[in-house]
Structure formats: structure tokens, C-alpha cells
């Protein structure tokens, strides 16, 4: 080992912006390019909006205006406005803010004095303007460096704060905002703050009934078994129903923050529902039967919340406040009283809930024997040697680097050559490979029994560790990696049918992605450019000139491991599988994967015409 000198010169002191830029993951989680809903660029947006929400919660400002373009975010609230003499400090001096004064912000999301500073440091351009009592103050920054500290001016604008920023594309490489993610984020803010109006790119977001409106938006009305139960109390609100689906589906929030990884409040809610239902029906149901097919949402407000990371996706607080009851007691007492009262007052809903529980019980017992045999088959199949090339860091690890766990992914591919290329070029720390044997079974319209009877599905389920829900999910991202030809597309559809039919929460919780690989390689003696579309290919040809060599990749197996490493490394391109709010899974799968119908035939013919036109243009 080389003799490294450890002297006074080895000790470095970084200022606030240098530290944030050097270790951005500590402040905003994973960087990403925007393909995941919790990538850093969305955290930047949230940090700014959270401050506006905190103002609204304190009774100041009923409207927030937001504009997002390709590379710029603008947010304007109508709260009290940052005190003019502290505008620069509040966005550029770490551990500075009004939320340390518990009288000014009693139940705030952000308590660490970091959020806005992180946005500032990670932006190529950042502008803050405060309007307060007829005066305004502007400050501008470049990558956290103050470039304009303007003097106070008179203004006729209403009180409030305006912030504009442009994420730094040297940190967030190839980033893009996905409209559906922003849409979901803003609707959550509206649902959690009844009466608040958010204007975003010409669209209005407003809710009067909170979590009831949220579940109405999330649920297919035809699939729910009884009207949504909506209960509200001091610092707690919940909504729940049961639907015709497999698995559990929850949306949880703390002080307006969407805790996508749950935490103590969600664990207490799940436990309280089971206990209350058992007590009401006076029967010791299996907990999994009570919770199977549940769709629920819970929001709590607590003083000085403790989160398990700076990005605030999982609540760690054991109590609802410094002097309050435990989270478990607080939620259990509320659910026990209010849900029990509701069931006594609404006998039709109580009867429907009981039928759903008994149906889940029957289904569980029906497949119990098959399940046991399937588990034994999975062990004999030597899953981890033959089908799965595992990685070392897993999403559900209780300990370990949170940033690496967020990067964990599994590639599902077909064929020895494709899986071989990915296996040889992957990052063994965070990337696993599952190899399919041939085309999966079309499971549309089948019961969950088929998951255990079909060897491929059973082994995939075990590899993902989702048999008993998402709590054990081993990979943050499930990436479908198939060829960009007809067979590859068919395999992709069959896998999506499997996930949507039996594990829709994987898609709803943004865990399923499609791997994008280049269609063309354009190169000359000096440079190689990989192109993901016809337009990119043409641009590369124009750039390189002199008739460069053009290769059309027909399958993943044609791409060498050395090349593949570049496509699944730092510059990986993933297309998220997103369910739109109006999408009905049953109708969607019925159209694409059910029996052939005149509508589908017409759809295929029209798409073939489009494909034919594209090919003719390419040849021309």
C-alpha cells in the first residue's frame, strides 16, 4: 500500500455549497434523470413548495402559482414573505430559517434549515424575491454563489415569496420532468390541504374533501367493494376501502409530506385496522385476510417529526410530539373509536367488508397447498444459481447505504446471449439479472393460483420477494429488458400483464421500468455515438459526416458486454411504467391481452399503417 501522508494539509473545510455539491445524495437522495418519481429534481421542487405549504398551514396564503418548463421551475406563494433583511441568509446560510422558532412553524415539514439551500447550491441559476408590506428584495445566485444582492425597492405586489431555479445539468445529467409525477405530487398537496388552490402550467388543483378525494382519484369506482370510509380527527385523517385486486395499497403522509416508504404511522394504521375489525366481528381473522385488497390513506400532523433521511420518505417518530402519546397509541385509539362507530352506523358497508375478508380467507386456503409445493419447487430449482444473478445491496436491507439501496435494480431479460451481456457488464453491487426461459404465459383473467403453478412466474415472484406484499421487495427498480422487435415487445406485454394482474402496487408505486437501449451505433475512426431514435441517428450522421459506419442493433444479444456497460451504467435510460388516473386495469388488459375483438383489430391495423409510413420515410 502506498505511503499516504496524513498532515495538516489533509484536513479540508468545505463551505455550505461545496459540501452540498460534493455530497448531494445526503441532502436530496438519489440524483437520477427524472425517470423515477423520487429522483432529486423532484425533491428540489418539493423543497420549495414545502415552504409555501408551511405558510398555508399557518394561515397565510390560499394560492400557490407554479410553472415548470423544460429546464426551469418557478414557484410563487402569497404567504407572509421572507423577512427582507434575511432573504439572502435564508437561502444561502446553512441552519438558518424560521422553523427553529416553534411559535412561527408548529407542525412543519422542513425543520433542518437545509432544503432551500440545497436547491440553491444545486442550481445553475437561482433567484429569490420576497414581497413584504409594499417593499421587495431580490437576490440571485449561480451554483450557490451570490451574483446579485439587490437593494430594497417599492412594490404593489401582494405579500409572499417567489423562487425561480434551473437544476444544474452537470449534476442531474439528461434530466427531464415527467408531467405525471409532477401532477401526482401537486394533487397530493391539494388533497392534504383542503381549500388550497395550486395553479400549475394552466391547470387548477383544488380539493375540499381531502383524503376522500385522493382515494376517489386512485380507485376505480367499479372495483371498490363498499363506499370509501373517510374519518377525520385532531391531527389525523384517514380513508379506506377494499377493492377487487391483490395486495395492499397505501398512501401515507406526515405534515403534508408523502412518506412513500411509510414509517411508524403507517405501521400503526395497518395494525389498528386489523385489531378493530377483529373486535367488531368478534372473530380472530388472519391479518393478511383483513388487509388483502385494502386501499387506504392516512395523514397525521406531529410536532418535530423525525424522518429516517433528509428526503423525509419514512417517518421514524415514536411519539406524536415531545409530550404526546406514542404514535401507536394515538392512531390505534382513533381507529378503534371512529372505525368501530362507522361500522355500527353503516351495516351495508360492514357486510361488504366481511364478505371481502371471507373471500380473501377462502382464496388463501385454496392456494395454501399449491403455495407450499411451489415454494419447495423454487428451492429445488436453485433459483440463485440458475435463474438469478443477484446483487449485493438490496432495497429491503435493514442496514446499509440508503443511496445504494435506492439504486438497486433487477433486469428481467430473455435468452442466454442478452442475459449474458448484462451479467458481464452490470454493477454487481446494485444490479441483478433474472433470465426468462422463452415467452411467459398470458395470465390475463387467471387467478393468483397460476402464479404458483407456473414455474417462471413462481421463480420471478421469489426473486423479487413479493409473495407477501411489497415490504420484502428486494429491488427498488424492476427493469424489463427485452429486444426492440415484435417478440421482445410481446414478452414485455406479457410481463406487464403479470405485474398489473397480480401485483399492481408495483406499478402504482413506481417500481417498474422499461430499459431503453440504443437502436443505432454511428461511428468513424475518431468518435462513436449511440442513438436511441431515428432523429438522434440523423443528428449523429450530420455531426460525423463523411459517410460514417451505421449499425442497427436488432437485439440485446448483439451488443457486446463492453458496450452494454455504458447503457446500464451512469447514463442508463429508463422509461417508467405509469398508470394514468383514468386507467382501469381490467379494461386495459382486456383490450390488449384478452380475446381478439374488432376494436383491437382496428387498433393494430392503424398502428401498422403508421409503422409502414415511418419505414417508407426512413428508406426515402
Q: What pLDDT is attached to residue 610?
A: 45
- Average pLDDT of the chain, as a whole number: 87
Q: Are residues 258 and 336 in the same domain?
A: yes
d(CA 149, CA 137): 8
d(CA 517, CA 566): 10
Q: Are residues 229 and 312 in the same domain?
A: yes
Q: Among residues 155, 185, 206, which one ends one of the domains?
A: 206
Task: Note whether residue 616 is domain-resident.
Answer: no
Task: Note whether residue 5 is domain-resident.
Answer: no
What DSSP string runs through 342-354? Answer: HHHH-HHHHHHHH
pLDDT bracket for residue 103 (50, 70, 90): very low
d(CA 536, CA 394): 35
Q: The domain spanning residue 470 has which CATH number?
A: 3.40.50.670
d(CA 242, CA 356): 7
Are the beta carbons of 247 and 341 closer than 8 angstroms? no
Task: Note whether residue 604 is domain-resident.
Answer: no
Q: The domain spanning residue 191 has which CATH number?
A: 3.30.565.10
pLDDT at 605 over 90: no
Q: What pLDDT is attached to residue 96?
A: 57
Q: Are residues 305 and 333 in the same domain?
A: yes
The tens digit of pLDDT for each residue in 606-619 reads: 655 444 454 444 44
Q: Are residues 333 and 455 in the same domain?
A: no
Task: Note whether residue 588 is domain-resident.
Answer: no
The CB density around residue 304, as the number of other CB atoms within 10 Å, is: 14
Q: Are residues 393 and 256 in the same domain?
A: no
The tens digit of pLDDT for each residue in 248-265 reads: 889 999 988 888 888 999
Q: Are residues 488 and 377 in the same domain?
A: yes
Residue 194, φ and ψ in degrees, nearest 5: -55, 130
Q: The domain spanning residue 355 has which CATH number?
A: 3.30.230.10
Q: Among residues 359, 387, 422, which one ends one of the domains?
A: 359
Q: Are residues 100 and 247 in the same domain?
A: no
Q: Are residues 462 and 382 in the same domain?
A: yes
pLDDT bracket for residue 6 (50, 70, 90): low
Domain that holds residue 218: 211-359
In this predicted model, which residue has the larger pLDDT, 223 or 575?
575
Q: Are residues 161 and 266 in the same domain?
A: no
Percent of the chain beyond pLDDT 70?
A: 88
Angle at 125 between CA 122 and CA 130, to 5 degrees: 105
Are the beta carbons of 159 and 80 closer than 8 angstroms? yes
Are the beta carbons of 52 and 42 closer than 8 angstroms? no
Sort strands 123-132 and 197-200 into parallel, antiparallel or unpaired. unpaired
Percent of the chain beyond pLDDT 90?
A: 53
- Structural domain count, the chain: 4
d(CA 86, CA 147): 16
The tens digit of pLDDT for each residue in 263-278 reads: 999 999 999 999 999 9
Task: Note whether residue 11 is domain-resident.
Answer: no
Task: Note whether residue 36 is domain-resident.
Answer: yes
Q: Are residues 216 and 335 in the same domain?
A: yes
pLDDT at 284 over 90: yes
d(CA 20, CA 28): 9
> Torsion angle of alpha carbons 403, 406, 411, 412, nearest 10°?
160
Q: What pLDDT is attached to residue 215?
A: 94
The tens digit of pLDDT for each residue in 406-463 reads: 889 999 998 777 888 899 999 999 999 999 988 899 888 888 888 888 888 988 998 9
Q: Among residues 185, 206, 227, which one ends one of the domains?
A: 206
Task: Note whether residue 574 is domain-resident.
Answer: yes
Nearest to 30 by CA among 243, 240, 311, 268: 311
pLDDT at 186 over 70: yes
What DSSP string runs through 362-391? Answer: HHHHHTHHHHHHHHHHHHHTTHHHHTEE--
- Beta-strand ranges (E) seen in 473-536 are 477-480, 512-516, 520-523, 528-531
d(CA 372, CA 124): 56
Task: Note whether residue 620 is domain-resident.
Answer: no
598-607 average pLDDT score:
64
Q: What pLDDT is attached to residue 112?
A: 45
Q: Are residues 188 and 293 in the same domain?
A: no
Are the beta carbons of 543 and 529 closer than 8 angstroms? yes
pLDDT at 86 over 70: yes
pLDDT at 138 over 50: yes
Q: Are residues 373 and 506 in the same domain?
A: yes
pLDDT bracket for residue 290 (50, 70, 90): very high
pLDDT at 111 over 50: no
What DSSP string runs through 550-602? Answer: EEE--SGGGS-HHHHHHHSSTT-EEEE----TT--HHHHHHHHHSS--HHHHH
pLDDT at 240 over 60: yes
Q: What pLDDT is attached to residue 591?
A: 66
pLDDT at 602 over 80: no
Amino acid at each position: 500500500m502506498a505511503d499516504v501522508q496524513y498532515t495538516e494539509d489533509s484536513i479540508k473545510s468545505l463551505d455550505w455549497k461545496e459540501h452540498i455539491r460534493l455530497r448531494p445524495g445526503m441532502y436530496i437522495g438519489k440524483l437520477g434523470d427524472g425517470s423515477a418519481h423520487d429522483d432529486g429534481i423532484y425533491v428540489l421542487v418539493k423543497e420549495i413548495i414545502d415552504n409555501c405549504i408551511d405558510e398555508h398551514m399557518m394561515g397565510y396564503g390560499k394560492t400557490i402559482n407554479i410553472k415548470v418548463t423544460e429546464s426551469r421551475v418557478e414557484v410563487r406563494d402569497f404567504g407572509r414573505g421572507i423577512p427582507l433583511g434575511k432573504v439572502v441568509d435564508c437561502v444561502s446560510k446553512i441552519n438558518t430559517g424560521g422553523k427553529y422558532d416553534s411559535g412561527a412553524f408548529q407542525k412543519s415539514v422542513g425543520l433542518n434549515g437545509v432544503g432551500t439551500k440545497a436547491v440553491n447550491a444545486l442550481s445553475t441559476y437561482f433567484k429569490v424575491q420576497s414581497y413584504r408590506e409594499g417593499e421587495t428584495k431580490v437576490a440571485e445566485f449561480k451554483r450557490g454563489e451570490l451574483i446579485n444582492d439587490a437593494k430594497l425597492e417599492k412594490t404593489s405586489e401582494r405579500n409572499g415569496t417567489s423562487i425561480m431555479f434551473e437544476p444544474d445539468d452537470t449534476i442531474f445529467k439528461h434530466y427531464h420532468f415527467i408531467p405525471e409525477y409532477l401532477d401526482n405530487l401537486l394533487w397530493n398537496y391539494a388533497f392534504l390541504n383542503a381549500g388550497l388552490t395550486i395553479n400549475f402550467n394552466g391547470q387548477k388543483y383544488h380539493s375540499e374533501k381531502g383524503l376522500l378525494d385522493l382515494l376517489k382519484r386512485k380507485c376505480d369506482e367499479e372495483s371498490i367493494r363498499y363506499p370509501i370510509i373517510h374519518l377525520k380527527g385532531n391531527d389525523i385523517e384517514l380513508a379506506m376501502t377494499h377493492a377487487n385486486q391483490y395486495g395492499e395499497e397505501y398512501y401515507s403522509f406526515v405534515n403534508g409530506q408523502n412518506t412513500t416508504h411509510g414509517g411508524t404511522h403507517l405501521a400503526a394504521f395497518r395494525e389498528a385496522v386489523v385489531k378493530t375489525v377483529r373486535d367488531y366481528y368478534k372473530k380472530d381473522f388472519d391479518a393478511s385476510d383483513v388487509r388483502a385488497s385494502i386501499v387506504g390513506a392516512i395523514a397525521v400532523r406531529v410536532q418535530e417529526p423525525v424522518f429516517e433521511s433528509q428526503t423525509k420518505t419514512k417517518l421514524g417518530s415514536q411519539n406524536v410530539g415531545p409530550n404526546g402519546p406514542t404514535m401507536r397509541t394515538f392512531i390505534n385509539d382513533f381507529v378503534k373509536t371512529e372505525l368501530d362507530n362507522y361500522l355500527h352506523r353503516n351495516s351495508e358497508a360492514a357486510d361488504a367488508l366481511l364478505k371481502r375478508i371471507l373471500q380473501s380467507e377462502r382464496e388463501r386456503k385454496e392456494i395454501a397447498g399449491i403455495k407450499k409445493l411451489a415454494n419447495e419447487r423454487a428451492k429445488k430449482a436453485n433459483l440463485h444459481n440458475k435463474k438469478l444473478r443477484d446483487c449485493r445491496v438490496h432495497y429491503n436491507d435493514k442496514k446499509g447505504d440508503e443511496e445504494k439501496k435506492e439504486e438497486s435494480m433487477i433486469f428481467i431479460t430473455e435468452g442466454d446471449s442478452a442475459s449474458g451481456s448484462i451479467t458481464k457488464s452490470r454493477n454487481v453491487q446494485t444490479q441483478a439479472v433474472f433470465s426468462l426461459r422463452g415467452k411467459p404465459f398470458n395470465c390475463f383473467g387467471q387467478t393468483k393460483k397460476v402464479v404458483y403453478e407456473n414455474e417462471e412466474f413462481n421463480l420471478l415472484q421469489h426473486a423479487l420477494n413479493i409473495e407477501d406484499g411489497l415490504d420484502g421487495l428486494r429491488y427498488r427498480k424492476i427493469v424489463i429488458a427485452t429486444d426492440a422487435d415484435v417478440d421482445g415487445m410481446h414478452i414485455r406485454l406479457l410481463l406487464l400483464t403479470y405485474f398489473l394482474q397480480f401485483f399492481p402496487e408495483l406499478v402504482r408505486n413506481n417500481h417498474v421500468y422499461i430499459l431503453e437501449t440504443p437502436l443505432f451505433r454511428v461511428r468513424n475512426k475518431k468518435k462513436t455515438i449511440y442513438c436511441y431514435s431515428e432523429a438522434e441517428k440523423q443528428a449523429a450522421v450530420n455531426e460525423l459526416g463523411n459517410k460514417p459506419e451505421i449499425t442497427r442493433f436488432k437485439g440485446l444479444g448483439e451488443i457486446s458486454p463492453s458496450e452494454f456497460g455504458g447503457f446500464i451504467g451512469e447514463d442508463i435510460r429508463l422509461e417508467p411504467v405509469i398508470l394514468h388516473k383514468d386507467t382501469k386495469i381490467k379494461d386495459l388488459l382486456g383490450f390488449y391481452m384478452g380475446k381478439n375483438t374488432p376494436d383491437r383489430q382496428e387498433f393494430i391495423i392503424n398502428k401498422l399503417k403508421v409503422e409502414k409510413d415511418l419505414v417508407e420515410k426512413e428508406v426515402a
